[in-house]
Amino acid sequence: MFVIAAPGQGSQKPGFLTPWLESPSYRADLERWSEIIGSDLIAHGTTSHQETITDTAIAQPLIVASGIIVGRALLEALPENTNVAFAGHSVGEFTAAALAGVLSDDDALSLVALRGRAMAEASAATPTGMSAVIGGDPEVLAKAVDAAGLFAANFNGGGQVVIAGELTRLAHFQENPPEGMRVIPLTVAGAFHTHYMQSAVAALAEAAAGVTTHVAHHPLYTNRDGSRVAPDNALGYLVDQVARPVRWDLCMESFSKDGIQGMMELAPAGALVGLAKRALKGVPTVALNSPDDLATALELVSGA
């Protein structure tokens, strides 16, 4: 089984879409989705500055749109009978759901655009953010985070946990980290995957009520607990995860148990293959940041 992984917010970089826009079909999809959601995905993926694409309302649909076009290109490049499964980190779950066939591309983009706006509004209510914590004892970290009035938002595996909460509390935690731990502020504008996002859950649930889901063409894993998603649960999980911790660590445990042979991360790639190198020792990975990387992915599959 080869896992195709879709990254989450924070992975975007200025100009990261540029190499993919040499294909007229990719550009046409992006133009159509831009019309649907009212955001210029091509400009944001090629010429917009870092500050612009850090905006939650812009970043989320940009990342998902990019992941879908790269994922489609990858599926076309791989042999038809390749055993693939999909998983996404946070908003990347919408990318994965679309590529697995659970959501239409248009529905995925529409929901994510609303999700981004709703999460940006929720973030504006209280100054909050997120920080990555590297290393240390997990039990010590859990107690320290609770004592600091913060919350564990992403369990990423490979010795990394992302914590979230009010900015003043995060700053104090960074200045006084538990022994053996390094705290790195992240460029996201809110305490995602915590109770601060409950208003966004409500808004997304209302929109999702009118969306039709489909039986997946490929296995799809959930951040909820790392399990494979049943068709009846897929949309509800996508809604709930806005205010629930991301359990990417459990996803990687499931990949390992299910016999992962390799991981291919969709653009903007790097974060998830980095985690895989630490947590899935010996599993080959490919970061798909340009069309040239499709050949490397094909080599990985052919050589397995």
Domain 2-124+194-302 adopts which CATH fold? Malonyl-Coenzyme A Acyl Carrier Protein; domain 2 (3.40.366)
The label of the residue with tokens 């509004």 reads 121
- How remote is the C-alpha of 279 from its chain's centroid? 17
Q: Where in the chain are the domains?
A: 2-124+194-302, 127-185
Long-range contacts of 260-263 (CB under 8 A, 24+ apart): 260/1, 260/2, 260/3, 261/1, 261/2, 261/304, 262/2, 262/3, 262/286, 262/300, 262/301, 262/304, 263/2, 263/3, 263/4, 263/5
Q: Looking at per-residue confidence, does 303 or 173 come out higher?
A: 173
pLDDT at 230: 86
pLDDT tens-digit readout, 221-248:
999 999 999 877 899 999 999 999 999 9
The label of the residue with tokens 């992915």 reads 297
pLDDT at 63: 98
Whether 214 is catalytic is: no
Whether 110 is catalytic is: no
74-110 CB burial, b ≥16 within 10 A, e <16: beebbeeebebbbbbbbbbbbbbbbbbbbbebebbbb
Strand, coil or helix: 291 = coil
pLDDT tens-digit readout, 152-190:
999 999 889 999 999 999 999 999 999 999 999 998 889
Q: Which residues pair with 286 in a beta bridge?
A: 264
The label of the residue with tokens 């080869």 reads 2
Residue 47: pLDDT band (50, 70, 90) is very high
pLDDT at 25: 82
For residues 189-202, average pLDDT: 96
Which CATH class, in words, describes the domain spanning 127-185?
A: alpha beta
For residues 72-97, average pLDDT: 96
pLDDT at 103: 96
For residues 59-81, average pLDDT: 96
> Could you say which DSSP state residue 151 is in?
E
Q: Which of 39, 90, 123, 254 is catalytic?
A: 90
Q: Which one-letter amino acid corresponds to residue 116?
A: G
Q: Which of 89, 123, 193, 254 is catalytic?
A: 193
Using DSSP bridges, classify how beta strands 160-166 and 151-157 pair: parallel, antiparallel or unpaired: antiparallel
Residue 31: pLDDT band (50, 70, 90) is very high
- pLDDT above 80 (res 64): yes
> Could you say which DSSP state residue 221 is in?
B
pTM, 2 dp: 0.96
- Give the whole-angstrom CA distance, residue 102 versus residue 214: 5
Tokens of 249: 């660590």
User: Which residues, in sequence order, are CB contacts of 189 under 8 Å at separation 6+?
Assistant: 54, 55, 56, 120, 123, 129
Residue 139: pLDDT band (50, 70, 90) is very high
Residue 251: pLDDT band (50, 70, 90) is very high
Which of 20-34, 54-68, 260-274 comes out lowest in average pLDDT? Answer: 20-34
- Give the whole-angstrom CA distance, residue 214 versus residue 253: 26
Helices assigned H by DSSP within the chain: 24-37, 41-46, 50-54, 56-77, 92-100, 105-125, 138-147, 167-175, 198-208, 234-240, 248-257, 271-279, 293-302
> Could you say which DSSP state residue 219 is in?
-
Instruction: For Cα atoms 138, 139, 141, give the angle at the middle one, nearest 5 degrees.
Output: 65
